[in-house]
Structures are given as structure tokens and as C-alpha cells.
Amino acid sequence: MIQIEYMLIISAVMMCAGIFGFITRRSTLAVLLSIELMLNSADLNFAVFNRMCNFGGNEGYLFSVFAIAIAAAESAVAIAIMINIYRMLKGIQVDKLEKMKG
Amino acid sequence: MEYTLLILLLPFFSFLFLGICGKWLSHKTAGLVGTSVLGIVTILSYMTAYAYFTAPRGADGTFATLLPYNFEWLPMGNLHFDLGIMLDPISVMMLIVISTVSLMVHIYSFGYMHGERGFQRYYAFLSLFTMSMLGLVVATNIFQMYMFWELVGVSSYLLIGFYFTSPAAIAASKKAFIVTRFADMFFLIGILIYGYFVGTFNFVEAGADGQVVDTMGQICGFDADAAKFIPVALGLMFIGGAGKSAMFPLHIWLPDAMEGPTPVSALIHAATMVVAGVFLIARMMPLLQSFGTIGGHTVLGIVVWVGVFTAFYAAAVACAQSDIKRVLAFSTISQIAFMMVALGVCTELPTGHHHVGSLGYMASMFHLFTHAMFKALLFLGAGCIIHAVHSNEMSAMGGLRKYMPITHITFLIACLAIAGIPPFSGFFSKDEILTACFAYSPFVGWFMTAIAAMTAFYMFRLYYGIFWGTENEELHAHHTPHEAPLVMTLPLIFLAIVTCAAGFIPFGHFVSADGQAYDIHLDWGVAGTSIVIAVCSILLATFIYIRKRQPVADSMAEKFSGLHRWAYKRFYMDEVYQYVTHRIIFARISKPIAWFDRHIIDGFFDFLAWGANALGYNIRGLQSGAVQKYAFVFFLGILALTLLFLLA
């Protein structure tokens, strides 16, 4: 029997990797991937808690399915934004977005 | 009586039509539209009056009060503001006065305003004024009256400032508006106090079975606390009325209002609007008589003394003015003060013995009626004269009788009427007022008789100054005065006929304090005295002013030069106001407050804005535009919060 802690450690590692990628990567695409990674770690948590803590329902699974669907929609929006950024700035490097400063 | 609504709606639509479409209409069309609408309104008013006064009297011998329209316009808790039309003897009488004078002025303006720029606008404003004034007199409640009261003030402002390129007219219109607004503020406070304690604004209510119930006579049920406030409310209302009716010391706007076109002065500042205050007091009479006492003083007593002083003051000033419209303006103030005094001397409820203590009510309304006619006639006549010599100053006139025969005769009739010579209308109404004053106190009676003598004197000084006396031959040779066109003389002739005939109207049968028919009988003691005194004054004026050279007048002016200058300067009332407003209110109160506002209040908010600005400028570096830095800070924040919650 795999302990719940192991699964949570995996999810925590995924989350940290996502945060790290989000902060450090230069390409907007990679940033998007990092966001997906963080989302997936959260989904994993839902599934794990539903499986291991035995609440007697399937809400955790349902939520992870929801989250995956929403992540898909969100990435569509993100890609659309990226295309616009590319058109305007001729590139999708994050550091090119400094026009947003005050 | 459903058609009475049209009396209000027709001038209103005419105002909208002329105001909006006026610039596409020719002068003639616009004038014809305004005048014909007013003609219809006049016919409707006469029909209303005929139907109202020929209806059978009630069991108590009074004409029933009618409410053809009344609907709840704005409910507010227990109170509700209504709009409607109420017909009772005085409002029907006012309908006649307003529509007649207004129609005459409309016709007359065709000639007087011929070719003026803004002719259409002029007729639009006249319609607005007529609508407001008619709405004021048929109001079913004090609040509706107040709304139309303000509308009347606005249209008066617009018409005084009609010649908007003249700085004097602009200043006069502002002065009129501000002074009357200042008085109306008290009126509004009075209305609100009244509504709070009485619980209704209505003069009458529609009862259950279609009967009209007099609410003012039935408000005795309130407690002692309220009884203290009702006289205060009534006193505040009187201040509003005094402002509109130009009672001392709120009279200062009326002489300046003569800057407006002369027909406007005839309509608004002589015949109709300025008697609104008198009408208000007459309307509130049942309350004033029953509840107007506080600490041994009555509101009506104040009305009497304000009226007596104003009548004297205005008559004294009128004796020394040289601008003919100013003389007429002060004579108007004096005559309105007569009406006020007549209302003030109504000390007793008209129950019990017939009319002894409340003759003044009928007298005041009668004088309002006759005065409206002959004063409109005087102003329209003055308009013809100004039209002929292009000046308001008496020095440009003199000897005009041979140039303008019709104006001369009609003006003379009006002067005789205002002087109180029988059989002209002013004699009858003034005699009733004097009788009422003598019944109140002999002092007031004699004093008012003396003022009536002054009236006769200054009116004939004016008459001789215009039509006889020293002719300004140089000016008249240069530009020969000529009689006004028919469209201007016809209203004069009509009003002169009314002035000759109005005294024989059995006015007491229509309007009296208790509503029952009352036969006016002349008290020959009073009437004889006033005739003798008036004739003496006229003879005195004739002696002084009829000839070309006026040594008596000159030597009098020389001898009493101080007094003459004081009267000419209107006893420096305007200067007193100037001093009080500019030196005391503006300099001592407003300036420090303005300084406080500009430096302390504004400074505080400027400081806030400056602080926010500086703070933002200093931290704007944080908004670097590097998205990932934001994310980093965000995650750090989450981490910090998580730790905080875990450890706490």
C-alpha cells in the first residue's frame, strides 16, 4: 500500500516545479506549461484525497475532471493571448512584456 | 367645469409651441398664436365665472367651493402633495382679472413690441407667466401654490431681463429674482412647518359623497405644542407674500423691475403677480383669524403695520420720482399696501354680527380687482407715452395732451380712479378699505386717508408733468410725438371703460368674508371726507404743476432740498441694502468663510490628493512590467500567509 504522504510529496514537487518554471522560464509557452503543471498537481491532490481518505463519494474525482476541462479552456485563452503578443511584439519572450510597467 | 383644466393647459402649450418653434415663425404668426390662445383662455375664464356665480347658492347662502380636478401627485408618508383646480369666489375673481389684463397686454404688445428682436420669445414668456399665475390662483393646496409661485417668479425674471443686452435690465432681473427668492425661502419653511403640524397642505378636501370639505376650518384638533407653531408658520408665509407683493423692506426689486418692457410691467408688476402676496393672505385668512395669535400678538397685526408703513413710504417716494414708470411702481407698492392693510384689519371671524370686523376682506379683493384694471391702464398709457417720446423721464414730456388725445383721456380716467374720485372704480374700493380701517382703529383710518390724499397728489403731479406743465419743445420739435397705433389704444379704451364701470359691480355679492351676499353701502362720512381730501390734493397738484413755469414746485424743492433728495433717492433703501449685503454680509461673513473654504477645506483635500500623488510616484518602480517578478512576489506572499496561519 502506497502511503498518502508519497503521493502528496509528488504533488508538492510538481507544484514547486510549476512555480519555479513560472517564475524563471523566458518563453511564454513554457510559462503556460508551468501553469498546467501546477493545475495538475492540484488535480492530483483532489484525486488522492478522494481515494485515500474515503469520504464515501466521488466529488474529488469530479472536481479533477472539472479542473482539467477548465484548464483546457484556459490554455485556449492563453494561446490566443500569446498569438496577440506575438503579433504586437514579434516574439513571445516574457521580458518583452515590460511595456506594462507603470 | 371640466374645461377649467384647459385654462391652464392652453397657455402652457402655447408657451411650449412658441418657445420651441418660435424661431421658425414670423413675428405676426407668433403674436397671433399667443394672443388667440389667450383669447380662448379669457373666454373660458368668463364662462367659468358665469357658470360659477350663476349656480344656486348653498343652504348657508354661500357659493359652493368646487374641485373639478384633484389628484394625488406625490405621496410622502402621511403627507401628500396634490395637484388640482379649486374654484371659489376669490380664485374665480382672479381668473377674470388675470385673463383680462393678460389679453389686453397681449394685444397691446403687438404694437409696443413691434419689430423687437425676440418677439416670439416675448410671447412665449407671456404665455408661461399667464399659465403660472392662473395655476397659482386655482391651487388646491399651499404646496401647489408654492410651485406656481416660483414659476411666476421665474417668468417675471425672464421678462424683466428681456432686453438682455442692457446691463441695467440684467441687474434688475437678478435683483428681482434674488429678493423674491430670499422671501420665498421663508415661505417654504412656513409651508413645511405648517404641513408638519397640520398634517395636510390642502385648503379643501374632496369628501366622501362628492362634497368639498374645508380642511382649513377643521384643523382645531392639534395640541398646544402645534398651536405655538402655526402662527410662526403663518408669519413666515407672510414674509413670502411680502416679498412677492413688494412690502417694505422687501420692496426694493419692484422699482428696478421697470427695466422690463412696459406691457410686462403692466401685467406682472402692477396688475397680477405683485398681488399674489395679497391673494396668499386672503387664502389663509380663516387660519390667520383663528390661529394667528402668539403671545398676544397677531400675524394680522404685523400685516397691518407693515402695510401702513409701506403705503406711506411708497407714497412719499412717489412724490419725488421723475421717471414715470418709477412713479407708477411706487404707486403700485402703495396701493398693494392698501390691500394688505385691508386684509390685516379683518380681526373678527365673519360669523355673528354681519361683517363688522371683516369688511376688509371684501374691500381688499375689490381693490385688487379695480386696481388691476386701472393700474394696467396707467402702465399701458405710460407705454404709449414712452413709445412716443422714447424716454422714461418726465423732463422729456410735458404738454403731450395735444399730441396724444386718447392716451390723455384714458390716463386721466385712471388717475381719477386711483385718486378715489367717484364714479370711477377706485373710489368704491378705496372707500371700503378706509371704512374697514376706521372700524379697526381711528388712527389707521386717518393715516390711510392721508396716504390716499398723497396718492391723489402724486398721481396728478405725474399727470400734469406728462400732459401739461413744461413742454420739452426742443425735443418735440425734433421728433413730434404721435398717438399710438390702434392696436395699442384699443386696450386703453377697453380698460378705461372697465375702470368707469367696475365700481358699480355688486362685488360684495360675489366675494365677501363669509361668502354670503353683502350689499356694499357707502359710508358717506368716510367717503365724503376722502373725496374732499382727494379733490384738495388734486387742486394742490393742479396749482403747483399745471403751468409752464412752476415756481412753487421749484421753491419747495429748494426749501426742502434735503427731504426732496431723500425721497428722490428712495430714502436710500437701496444703499442700505448695498451696505448690508456688501459691507456686512459679503465682507464680514462671506469673505472669511470663502477664505476658510479656499484655504482650509480645499487645502485639506489638496493635501490628500498631493499625498496620494507623491506616494504613487514613489512606488511606481514596483510596477516594473516584468510579469514573472509579480508572480514571484505573489508566491512569496502566499508562503508568508501560509506560514502565518500554520504558526498562529
C-alpha closest to that of B241 among B273, B201, B289:
B273
Question: Which chain A residues are within 8 Å of B638, Cβ to Cβ?
Answer: none
**How far does the CA of residue A69 sit from the closest CA of chain B (Å)?**
24
With cell 492540484, the residue in question is: A42
Question: Which chain A residues are within 8 Å of B631, Cβ to Cβ?
Answer: 22-23
Query: Any chain A CB within 8 A of the CB of B628?
Result: yes
Cell numbers for B507: 362685488
Query: Any chain A CB within 8 A of the CB of B626?
Result: yes
Mutate to test the interface with A, among B618, B622, B627 (most CBs of A within 10 A): B627
Query: Any chain A CB within 8 A of the CB of B633?
Result: no
Nearest to A94 among B620, B627, B632 (CB): B627
3-state secondary structure B156-191: HHHHHCCCCCCHHHHHHHHHHHHHHHHHHHHHHHHH
Whether A22 sits inside 8 A of B623 (CB atoms) is no
**How far does the CA of residue B628 sit from the closest CA of chain A (Å)?**
5
Instruction: Count other Cβ atoms within 10 Å, centred on residue B154.
Output: 15
Query: Any chain A CB within 8 A of the CB of B631?
Result: yes
What mean pLDDT is predicted for residues A88-97? Answer: 81
Query: Any chain B CB within 8 A of the CB of A4?
Result: no
Question: Which chain B residues are within 8 Å of A22, Cβ to Cβ?
Answer: 628, 631
Q: How far is residue B629 from each of residues B81, B594, B618, B643, measured CA to CA in Å?
A: 64, 50, 18, 21
Question: Which chain B residues are within 8 Å of A31, Cβ to Cβ?
Answer: 628
Q: Which residue of A has its CA nearest to B631?
A: A23
Q: Which residue of B has its CA nearest to A21?
A: B628
Query: Any chain B CB within 8 A of the CB of A93?
Result: no
Cα within 13 Å of Cα(B624), Cβ side: 12
Nearest to A102 among B623, B627, B632 (CB): B623
pLDDT of residue B612: 95
Nearest to B625 among A19, A31, A98 (CB): A98
Mutate to test the interface with A, among B628, B632, B636, B642 (most CBs of A within 10 A): B628
Residues of chain B with pLDDT under 70: 206-225, 348-357
Nearest to A102 among B620, B628, B632 (CB): B620
Whether A97 sits inside 8 A of B624 (CB atoms) is no
pLDDT of residue B560: 76
Whether A98 sits inside 8 A of B626 (CB atoms) is yes
pLDDT of residue A69: 93
Query: Any chain B CB within 8 A of the CB of A77?
Result: no
pLDDT at A12 over 90: yes
Nearest to A97 among B625, B631, B632 (CB): B625
Query: Any chain B CB within 8 A of the CB of A24?
Result: yes
ipTM of the complex: 0.79
Q: The dihedral of CA A8, A10, A16, A18: what is its sign?
A: negative
pLDDT of residue B353: 47
Q: Which residue of A has its CA nearest to B635?
A: A19
With cell 490554455, the residue in question is: A75
Query: Any chain A CB within 8 A of the CB of B625?
Result: yes
Residues 187-206 of B with CB under 8 A from A: none
H or E, element range at B601 = none
What mean pLDDT is predicted for residues A37-45? Answer: 92
Query: Any chain A CB within 8 A of the CB of B630?
Result: no
Distance between CA atoms of residues B427 and B93, nearest Å: 19
Instruction: Count other Cβ atoms within 10 Å, centred on residue B628.
Output: 16
Whether A23 sits inside 8 A of B628 (CB atoms) is yes
Q: Give the bridge partners for B393, in sequence order.
A: B323
pLDDT of residue B98: 92
Distance between CA atoms of residues B60 and A28, nearest Å: 97
Q: Judge whether B566 and B485 are in contact, CB under 8 Å.
A: no
pLDDT of residue B114: 83
Distance between CA atoms of residues B14 and B36, nearest Å: 10
Exposed (0-12), middle (13-18) or buried (19+): which is B28, by Cβ within 10 Å?
A: exposed
Question: Which chain A residues are within 8 Å of B628, Cβ to Cβ?
Answer: 22-24, 31, 94
Question: Which chain B residues are within 8 Å of A94, Cβ to Cβ?
Answer: 626-628
Question: Which chain B residues are within 8 Å of A96, Cβ to Cβ?
Answer: none
Question: Which chain A residues are within 8 Å of B632, Cβ to Cβ?
Answer: 23
- For B262-371, strand residue ranges (E) read 293-294, 297-298
Whether A101 sits inside 8 A of B623 (CB atoms) is yes
DSSP A93: B
Distance between CA atoms of residues B520 and B147, nearest Å: 35
Question: Which chain B residues are within 8 Å of A24, Cβ to Cβ?
Answer: 628
Distance between CA atoms of residues B569 and B645, nearest Å: 85
Whether A101 sits inside 8 A of B624 (CB atoms) is yes
Question: Which chain A residues are within 8 Å of B626, Cβ to Cβ?
Answer: 94-95, 97-98, 101
Nearest to B628 among A94, A101, A102 (CB): A94
Question: 3-state DSSP call for residue B86?
Answer: strand
Question: Which chain B residues are within 8 Å of A100, Cβ to Cβ?
Answer: 623, 625, 627
Q: Which residue of A has its CA nearest to B617?
A: A102
Q: Judge whether B44 and B4 are in contact, CB under 8 Å.
A: yes
**Full-prediction pTM beyond 0.80?**
no
Cell numbers for B517: 351676499
* Residue boundaries of the structural domains of chain A: 4-89
The class level of CATH for A4-89 reads mainly alpha
Q: Which residues, including other chains, have CB under 8 Å from residue B645's CB and lie 6 or more apart?
A: none
Query: Any chain A CB within 8 A of the CB of B618?
Result: no
Mutate to test the interface with B, among A20, A22, A31, A38 (most CBs of B within 10 A): A22
pLDDT of residue B352: 46
pLDDT of residue B334: 92
Distance between CA atoms of residues B70 and B86, nearest Å: 8
With cell 389663509, the residue in question is: B284
Q: Judge whether B442 and B524 are in contact, CB under 8 Å.
A: no
Distance between CA atoms of residues B242 and B240, nearest Å: 5
Whether A98 sits inside 8 A of B624 (CB atoms) is yes
**How far does the CA of residue A35 sit from the closest CA of chain B (Å)?**
11
Query: Any chain A CB within 8 A of the CB of B623?
Result: yes
